Amino acid sequence: MSTSPDAAPGPVGAAPSPVEGTAGVEPQQGEPQQGKPQPPDATPDAWQTLALTELGQRRAELLAEITTLEERRRQIEQELASSFAGQADAVARRLKGFQDYLVGALQDLAASAEQIELVAQPLLVQPSPLDQTPAVEVPPPPAVGLFSQDEDLIRERLEGFSGQPDFQAEPWQLRRTLEASGAQLLEQWFIDQGGRGAQPSSGSRLRNGVVTAAAIAILGELYGDRFQTLVLASQPERLGEWRRGLQDCLGLAREDFGPSSGIVLFERADALVERADRLEERGELPFIVVDACEPAVETPILQFPLWLAFVAGPGERLEAQDYA
């Protein structure tokens, strides 16, 4: 085997050079590896700072949300206070408080009443009959006004009206029986009130018509044709009942009702007063009758010498309310 003269002989089995053995040699323990990133320096102070920062941010967010909710709550309360439901709720709360106050006050009142001592009732002694003075009969007061001289005639006619009715009597004479209550009413109106005043209604327009017809019959005997009856009722239906009732009780015809006849019907008080003034100017006497359903007697009517106003009972008040 031949060798090159330039090559230097070396020992057999010698180790390779460092350059040639680099790829297969592992680094020694404790030496840093080349090409890998090193982790950051994680200390306890850094972790605490990061946690506090996050908690601060979360707290700020919660405070902002709480502020927003509080503002919304105030807006809702204002809306409830200004709305009907809110006002109704406030009124209900006040009423509940007032109710509680009343209950407490009544309880206190009841407790106070239980503590009050009852006053002993005085002993009443019945007087002896020997000590009583005999009653003296007081004569009825004399008649007043226009009829002070006609008291006997009026009582006689009223007593005659209480008997059997005369259906064949002359016109303007009573053809129906006058009840005892109606006779007493007219006696008080003629004699005690002098033909001017109010009297309780007989309960219906038909009965009041009988009473008025009896008064017209007596006035006709006293004054003849020198008076005219004026009836006031503010509803046509009521005037119709008055016309039919007087027509039946006095035996009249339709011609007897009208401005130039014996009876005139009015719906308005001012027209009636105007008619009464004209009658007095002619020297005649107006006899004014006011229906029970009229709410009041107009003041100008009170100036005339003859007027009779019927005061309504409970049933007639309900009728007046129904018409109103």
In a domain, 50, yes or no: yes
In a domain, 131, yes or no: no
Q: What's the rounded Cα separation, in Å, for the pair 293 and 323?
A: 10
Alpha-carbon distances, residue 170 vs 100, 224, 256 (angstroms): 75, 14, 14
Domain co-membership, 161 together with 302: yes
283: left (phi over 0), alpha (psi -120 to 50) or beta: left
Domain co-membership, 91 together with 213: no
pLDDT tens-place string over residues 199-246: 999 889 999 999 999 999 999 999 988 899 999 998 899 999 999 999
Domain co-membership, 267 together with 153: yes
Q: Is the pLDDT of residue 39 over 80?
A: no
In a domain, 137, yes or no: no
Domain co-membership, 300 together with 155: yes
Domain co-membership, 98 together with 151: no
The confidence score (pLDDT) of residue 219 equals 93
In a domain, 301, yes or no: yes
Percent above pLDDT 70 for the chain:
74
Domain containing 293 equals 147-323
The confidence score (pLDDT) of residue 140 equals 45
> CB neighbours (10 Å) of residue 218?
20
Scan for tokens 């027209």, then name that residue: 271
Q: Is the pLDDT of residue 75 over 90?
A: no
Q: What's the rounded Cα separation, in Å, for the pair 311 and 301?
A: 15
In a domain, 117, yes or no: no
DSSP at 176: S
Count of domains for the chain: 2
Q: Is the pLDDT of residue 319 over 70?
A: no
The confidence score (pLDDT) of residue 25 equals 43
Confidence of residue 85 (pLDDT cuts 50, 70, 90): low
Q: Is the pLDDT of residue 169 over 70?
A: yes
The confidence score (pLDDT) of residue 5 equals 39
The confidence score (pLDDT) of residue 176 equals 92
The confidence score (pLDDT) of residue 11 equals 40
Sequence-separated (6 or more) residues with CB below 8 Å from residue 279:
228, 285, 286
Q: What's the rounded Cα separation, in Å, for the pair 42 and 273?
A: 117
Domain co-membership, 158 together with 300: yes
More confident residue, 226 or 126: 226
The confidence score (pLDDT) of residue 122 equals 62
Domain containing 158 — which CATH number? 3.40.50
Most confident of 14-18, 129-133, 145-149, 259-263: 259-263
DSSP per-residue codes, 238-272:
HHHHHHHHHHHHHT--GGGBSTTSSEEEES-HHHH
